[in-house]
Copies of this chain bind each other. A is one copy, B any other.
Amino acid sequence: MTTQFEPLDSGAVPRYAGIPTFMRLPQAEPAEVDIALLGIPYDGGATNRVGTRHGPREIRNQSSLMRRVHHVSGLSPYDRARIADCGDVPVDPMDLMRTLDLISAHYAGVKAAGALPLTAGGDHLVTLPILRGLAADGPVGLIQFDAHSDTYDSFFGGSRYNHGTPFRRAIEEGLIDPKRFVQIGLRGAISDASNYDFAKACGIRMIFIEEFTERGVAEIMAEARALVGDLPTYVTFDIDGIDPSQAPGTGTPEIGGFSTREAQLLVRKLEGLNLIGADVVEVAPPLDPSGLTALTGATIMFELLCVLAGVVASKGGK
């Protein structure tokens, strides 16, 4: 498949030159492409340290270092699908509930346009309205790479919509099938022993880092793949799933996480699933003096892009 949606050629234009779009791709509308790269510059869902509103811009900046062809598969996503930077989703930094509506409407539009969305957050709350936009007609499966379960009920005596609660809300709203929901990389102390009760009661498969360390990537992902099966599934990658030495710039770091080498292997094992979209969230540039977190985020995004391009290729494109 030939396509006009190619990254700038780094053999002609240096990587640091030009206005930074995701992967140095052209800008386009979702209707023009198979995969829409999107940013959600919003961190109003953060209960602690903020800064992920700057995530999309800095991930774009670091994504200039990405190249075309995956070194393991030998395939270029740009040969398999039409892909572009579809810009940032509208948000209202002063109004959380309005922002949720703006985001869900936008993703409903992306879905209607026939594009698979690959998103750079933003805090993890943004996955809730993404799912509202994508899963309006029935619950989907979810594979979540994360240090935290994000299935709290509320904070501060009333906040039900924040980055600690999106997946409880999504289950309550029928957006996720909890039997097809797996969380990988959980760790870190919790505020109360009951914090995991909801997740356990729902049947979410929670895989803690200790279990991951013992069983390894292959076994864990085989289980995850079996669990979500062939039905539509969304993937969400919280950058704090990765160890803070490789992703320090995030609001709620937990030591003892995935190495990036593990993270890359994990994502590659998503190949062939029936994915409807993916995101990378919680990259907070003001907490990232060396830029490494955004680089890690951009590379995970490229790995996810390769997987999504496989989905497009398997369906014959638009």
In the bound assembly, the distance between CA atoms of A93 and B163 in angstroms comes to 12
In the bound assembly, the distance between CA atoms of A91 and B10 in angstroms comes to 12
- Max count, chain B CB within 10 A of own CB: residue among A17, A18, A259, A296: A17
Closest to A22 in B: B19
Closest to A288 in B: B290
Cβ contact within 8 Å between B16 and A155: no
B-chain residues with CB within 8 Å of residue A68 when the two chains form the complex:
189-192
> Which among B9, B161, B190, B243 is the interface contact of A246 at CB below 8 angstroms?
B243
Tell me the smallest distance from the CB of A186 to a CB of chain B, in Å: 7
Contact with B along A53-79 (1 / 0, CB 8 A): 110110011000111111110101000
With A94-B159, A159-B92 as given contacts, are A246 and B255 in contact (CB-CB < 8 Å)? yes
Cβ contact within 8 Å between B17 and A88: yes
Interface range on chain A (Cβ under 8 Å from partner):
35 or more
Tell me the smallest distance from the CB of A179 to a CB of chain B, in Å: 23
Question: Is residue A21 within 8 Å, beta carbon to beta carbon, of the partner chain?
Answer: yes
Cβ contact within 8 Å between B18 and A255: no
Question: Is residue A177 within 8 Å, beta carbon to beta carbon, of the partner chain?
Answer: no
Contact with B along A14-55 (1 / 0, CB 8 A): 111111110000010000000000010101111111110110
Cβ contact within 8 Å between B48 and A50: no
Name A248-267 residues within 8 Å CB distance of B. 248-249, 252-257, 259-261, 263-265
Q: Which among A131-139, A207-215, A224-232 touches the partner chain?
A: A207-215
Cβ contact within 8 Å between B287 and A289: no
Cβ contact within 8 Å between A54 and B16: yes
- Interface of A, secondary structure class, is loop
In the bound assembly, the distance between CA atoms of A116 and B82 in angstroms comes to 37
With A210-B72, A246-B255, A286-B287 as given contacts, are A12 and B157 in contact (CB-CB < 8 Å)? yes
Cβ contact within 8 Å between B255 and A195: no
With A155-B11, A193-B76 as given contacts, are A65 and B17 in contact (CB-CB < 8 Å)? no
In the bound assembly, the distance between CA atoms of A96 and B12 in angstroms comes to 15
> Which among B60, B71, B88, B191 is the interface contact of A11 at CB below 8 angstroms?
B191
Cβ contact within 8 Å between A256 and B245: no
Cβ contact within 8 Å between B43 and A17: no
In the bound assembly, the distance between CA atoms of A289 and B65 in angstroms comes to 20
Q: Which 7 A-B pairs have the closest CB atoms?
A: A94-B159, A67-B189, A255-B260, A286-B286, A256-B261, A245-B245, A245-B246
Interface CB pairs A-B, < 8 A, 21: A11-B156, A15-B48, A16-B57, A17-B91, A47-B94, A50-B51, A67-B191, A68-B190, A69-B192, A71-B189, A92-B156, A94-B162, A243-B259, A243-B261, A244-B292, A255-B299, A256-B263, A256-B264, A257-B261, A286-B287, A287-B290
